[in-house]
Structure 1
Amino acid sequence: MSTDVSFATTERPDGALVLAVAGEIDMSNAAAFATALAAALADAGSDSFVVDLTAVEYLDSAGLAVLFQHVDHATLVAAPLLAPVLAIAGLDDITTIKN
């Protein structure tokens, strides 16, 4: 059984592509998360894009592994409860994490 997660792509006024993720990301839906990130990267072209994780309630190691694959092109936006998890995983050393 897959955990509920949703993805929405928008564009900010400055032209930056934003992939907003809501719900829980775990091993049951990590492949869908990877597909959504790959699509956002393709839509952004050579530009970086924003991954808005402020509505993510849970993120396990499978979701972290997917994020690591895209950190070269992604800026992460995280809620105050999720930001420390991303930092402990070391993502703050290799990409920008905003609150």
Structure 2
Amino acid sequence: MATPLTTETRVRDDGTAVLMVTGELDLSNIDVFTTAIADAMTPASRDGGVLMIDLTGVEYLDSSAIDVLFANASRVRLVVNPILMPVLKVSGLPNVMSVETG
């Protein structure tokens, strides 16, 4: 059974928006993830700032999630669960956006 997806957006004292995601990211909930990213974009990030997406609570993602991350590569920075790094490296995502383990 898949772990349900949950999202929560917080704004740091410095104004940085952080989208915290837990659960599994796959085709069944990709619309929820896409909407959460759009909703988390603050006026600053829309004007050239960066949204931080915290995927440290995610242990599985499929190609649909990787596609969404590629589509937003210029506007987001990732902090991920180390277990995700091999698939992200194979996809080439760290070559086009900031990805660090947390």
TM more than 0.5: yes
Q: How many residues align?
A: 98
| Aligned CA distance change for structure 1 residues 97 and 32 (closer, same or farther; 3 Å) | same
Q: How far did 1:45 drift?
A: 2.9
Consecutive unaligned residues of structure 1, counting only runs of 5 or more, are none
The CA deviation at 1:75 is 0.3
Structure 2: how far apart are the matches of 1:32 and 1:15?
24
**Residue deviations 1:43-91 (CA, integer Å, cap 9, x gap):** 5332111000000021001111111111110000011111222121111
Which residue of the partner structure matches residue 98 of structure 1?
100
Identity of aligned residues (%): 40
Taking the TM superposition and a 5 Å limit, the aligned residue runs for 1:23-62 are 23-42=23-42, 44-46=45-47, 47-62=49-64
Matching of residue 9 in structure 1 with residue 9 in structure 2: yes
Residue segments in structure 2 that go unaligned for 5+ positions in a row: none
Contact 1:51 1:74 in 2 (8 A): yes
TM-score (norm 1): 0.89
Paired with 1:90 and 1:55, the residues of 2 have a C-alpha distance of 21
Distance 1:84 1:14, change over 3 A: farther
What's the secondary structure of 2:27's corresponding residue?
coil
